[in-house]
Amino acid sequence: MLLPEVSPDDATALLNSGVAANPKTWRLYHLLGYVYWQRHHYEIASEIYAKGGSLPGAPPWMAAMAARLKGEGGSRDAASEMYRHLYDASNDPAVRDMVDKQLMRLKSLDQRDEIRNALNSYKAKNGRCVSSWREIANELRAVRLILDPKTGAPLDPSETPYELIKNGCDVGLDVNTKVPFR
């Protein structure tokens, strides 16, 4: 599962040969579909999940993933579901660690969208960007973000405070965060 990070083409070739040699092994379809999904080839990934999902013994979520990828291949919700299934299908600590980090990244992206909404709303209402997190603390609490008690900054999934950037008009990750930047 780490090979796609190094060489997506080699990962695809290896998994395609595995599927050819073991056409009734649904887990290989899952892994191959995952590689295509990572490469943003959602239609191909959907077809692979559908084929693997039709095999005897394949879990019902394989067919559900096929439909989901067809409809919303690049969405964060589809990505979260894909990562959760990958986590459940693997006993490899390196794969599970990678999945944990990617789920943290996706959660952070959602949080930053919420924070940007609060920042933009404040700017529209006041004609300026915030000078501190405390100016939008109520809005951040309303969307269930956890705030640092000392600074009022919202905490990312690794419990590191987010940074105000662009003179208080945007949000960014702190350099010390454990959330992957990509």
| Residue found under tokens 């998994």 | 15
H/E element holding 2? none
Q: Lowest-confidence range among 60-64, 156-160, 164-168? A: 60-64
Supply the pLDDT for residue 112: 97
Give the residue with greater pLDDT, 73 vs 14: 14
- Burial label, 171 (beta-carbon count in 10 A; 0-12, 13-18, 19+): buried
Query: In the predicted model, what is the mean pLDDT of residues 148-157?
Result: 96
Q: What rounded mean pLDDT belongs to the chain?
A: 91
Flag whether pLDDT at 177 surpasses 80.
Answer: yes
8-state DSSP, 162: P
Supply the pLDDT for residue 4: 57
Bridge partners of residue 171, in order along the sequence: 164
Residue 96 neighbours by CB distance under 10 Å: 15
Taking the model in full, what pTM does it have?
A: 0.75
* Phi, psi values for residue 112, rounded to 5°: -65, -30
Torsion angle, alpha carbons of 156, 159, 160, 162, to 10: 30
Q: Tell me the torsion sign for CA atoms 163, 94, 28, 17.
A: positive
Query: In the predicted model, what is the mean pLDDT of residues 19-36?
Result: 94
How far is residue 155's CA from residue 141's CA, in Å, rounded to a whole number?
Answer: 11
Give me the percent of the chain exceeding a pLDDT of 90: 65
Q: Which domains does the chain have, with CATH numbers?
A: 3-90 (1.25.40), 114-172 (no CATH)
Q: Convert the pLDDT of each residue in 2-17 to its tens digit.
A: 555 668 888 899 999 9
Supply the pLDDT for residue 51: 96
Band of residue 30 on the pLDDT scale cut at 50, 70, 90: very high
* Phi, psi values for residue 181, rounded to 5°: -75, -20
